[in-house]
Chains A and B, each alone.
Chain A
């Protein structure tokens, strides 16, 4: 993909008239456990325009996966979407019936999961799992569905797809399984794909291959993509926009160029500083001091305050979301570039 092309796509989608593929408004998802209510996702708002890739970044437990599941209506009990809207092409998914939601799942919105060892059913052959996915949304014969499955596997750069179709998941390597899972997500050329750390469990080389293939396919098909990851370097290479989550909230979002070059939130800065590539050889890796707060006993006010060098008494209140630059918002009372300190 050439850069001008990418910028052109970015420009066109920034036009305010176009409806975004996905717009999440003030989403709240909580888990109602015996030990108490865990607010996993708090007041999250996102926009993904057609053909754009959004990187959703955060450490484990920050609520990024739950956000993905909430969009697709796959939050399991005791979890529940407790507020907000998920507008997919203008339709609020939180208001849809189970059947209405199922029509979209795997069809217009697909999901790719983290662990390729676990996403395919170990006792069913690959073709069974692909054919059922085709036939869940299209009335075609098994043979046609199988042919379509084979073509999609080939699209994902899988050699000898016919052989792979006959295989059981455990007969495939981890990278191959993840390609199969991605092919299943691509079967119906969805408008939106939510990918939940699909490459973290893979070797770095395979990760790079899969990333480039996904990027290519998404561009070709005009699919919007939410790429959930804890790895900022993946986002830097893949995404157009980025949203940084911390303790259930989006603390900063904007275009990748803006956020990664001029991070405003101290947490984003901390994440960038802890990237190995940013550190000089022989120097100790920089870390963010402290630990993420326990969701059960969330402090009032800014959740990052306890780990933040800029925290003042005002941080005991909830920081509002502020637009710091066009298209870049941040939730902090003391935003600013790192060297501004």
Chain B
């Protein structure tokens, strides 16, 4: 890459600052990424605060009025007169409420499974790198095998095995995702352990565990964070897809995927909103995460910068 084509001067003053400060400054230099982050924060806020924002609890059948089913966006509630800004679904759920609750499930499943998978995967990766030998070979073949098959297929297999349900969807996601972290953590750990500071630490008589946690792990974090961000987006999509296929959440507690699936049957009668708005919510969430993840990748891993 032509060094002269980069805006070099703007970085010169940052040399003395901490690396994380540099990351933050570089991150906010991309307006799209900042917008993505803001949208993401907003989505997470409304999802967390959903019970205090919405007009009805979409999972409480007692609060649903079947007479209000499939109302167009902007219609008024029969009893209390509040407006269904995005319409209602086939069971009379306010779509705004249903979407916010659906987002809660999506984010919970996505972030929860990604975090657990990250912990397990990183641990496996570090152990694999540190122990080496046949254990390393075995674990990495397993990772290769897992990663070489399409996620949806593995998910179908595991769900066919475990049965339906949100818990099992999460379990499926964890079973599939740990491999990404394991491979990355192992690769990073192997690279880092060859660096001089590790030798230096070893030379000072610091124990292997302290070296891994105190020296190697922090240096593995940037790529793991990037993978984490992109995996969350994938997990959310996969949960929605599986729920759409009827393998995820129960019908009484629809997540975004199931809302969309339920709307499918009404599309022929032009009641588009039941599928459209949950899908838009899903799309905006995933795009926001991907924008943030893309920027993180550029900022945290300059080797991938093009």
**Do A and B touch each other in the complex, judged by CB within 8 A?**
yes
Least CB separation from A34: chain B residue = B7
Residues A287-303 near B (CB distance < 8 A):
295-296
CB of B56 to closest CB in A, whole Å:
53
Contacts of A295 in B (CB 8 A): 4
**Any B CB within 8 A of the CB of A78:** yes
Contacts of A35 in B (CB 8 A): 4-9
Which of chain A's residues have a CB closer than 8 A to the CB of B6? 34-35
Per the 8 Å Cβ criterion, residues 32-66 of A in contact with B are: 33-35, 38
Contacts of B1-42 to chain A: CB distance below 8 A: 2, 4-9
A69 at the interface (CB under 8 A from B): no
Q: How many residues of B are in contact with the other chain, CB < 8 A?
A: 7
In the complex formed, the residue of B with least CB distance to A38 is: B4
A31 at the interface (CB under 8 A from B): yes
Instruction: Give the interface SS of chain B, mostly helix, strand, loop or mixed.
Output: loop
CB of A228 to closest CB in B, whole Å = 20
- Which residues of chain A are near B7, meaning CB under 8 Å? 34-35
Give the distance in Å from the alpha carbon of A219 to the alpha carbon of B8 in the complex: 48
A80 CB → nearest B CB, Å: 14
Bound together, the chains give a CA A33 to CA B9 distance in angstroms of 13
B259: shortest Cβ distance to chain A, in Å?
46
How far, in whole Å, are A33 and B7 apart by their CA atoms in the complex? Answer: 9
Which residues on B sit within 8 Å (CB–CB) of A38? Answer: 4
Report chain A residues within 8 Å CB of B2.
Answer: 33
- Which partner residue on chain A sits nearest B10 by CB separation? A35
Task: Write the nearest CB–CB distance from A110 to chain B, whole angstroms.
Answer: 26
A47 shortest CB reach to chain B, Å: 31
Q: A33–B5 Cα gap in the complex (Å)?
A: 5
**Would you list which residues of chain A between 57 and 103 have a CB under 8 Å from chain B?**
78
Cα–Cα, bound, A88→B5 (Å): 32
CB distance from A69 to the nearest CB of B (A): 14
Q: Which among B2, B5, B6, B7 has the greatest number of chain A C-beta atoms within 10 A?
A: B5
Q: What residues on B are CB-neighbors of A31 within 8 Å? A: 4
- Tell me the smallest distance from the CB of A304 to a CB of chain B, in Å: 21
CA distance A295 to B3 in the complex (A): 13
Closest B residue to A296 by beta carbon equals B4
Residue of B whose beta carbon sits closest to that of A33 = B5
Q: Closest residue to B9 on the A side, CB-wise?
A: A35
- Give Cα distance in the complex from A295 to B2, angstroms: 14
A296 CA to B7 CA in the complex, in Å?
12
Give Cα A31 to B6, complex, Å: 13
Docked complex Cα distance between A33 and B3 (Å)? 10
- Tell me the bound Cα distance from A92 to B109 in angstroms: 68
CA distance A34 to B9 in the complex (A): 11
Give Cα A35 to B11, complex, Å: 12
Interface residues of A in 255-313 (CB under 8 A from B): 295-296
- With A and B bound together, what is the CA distance between A35 and B9 in angstroms? 8
- Inter-chain CA distance A296–B175, complex, in Å, is 54
Which residue numbers of B lie inside 8 Å of A, CB to CB? Answer: 2, 4-9
What would 17 A/B residue contacts be, using CB atoms closer than 8 Å? A31-B4, A33-B2, A33-B4, A33-B5, A34-B5, A34-B6, A34-B7, A35-B4, A35-B5, A35-B6, A35-B7, A35-B8, A35-B9, A38-B4, A78-B5, A295-B4, A296-B4
15 more contacts with CB within 8 A, not counting A31-B4, A33-B2, are A33-B4, A33-B5, A34-B5, A34-B6, A34-B7, A35-B4, A35-B5, A35-B6, A35-B7, A35-B8, A35-B9, A38-B4, A78-B5, A295-B4, A296-B4
Closest 6 CB pairs of A and B: A33-B5, A33-B4, A34-B7, A35-B7, A35-B4, A35-B8
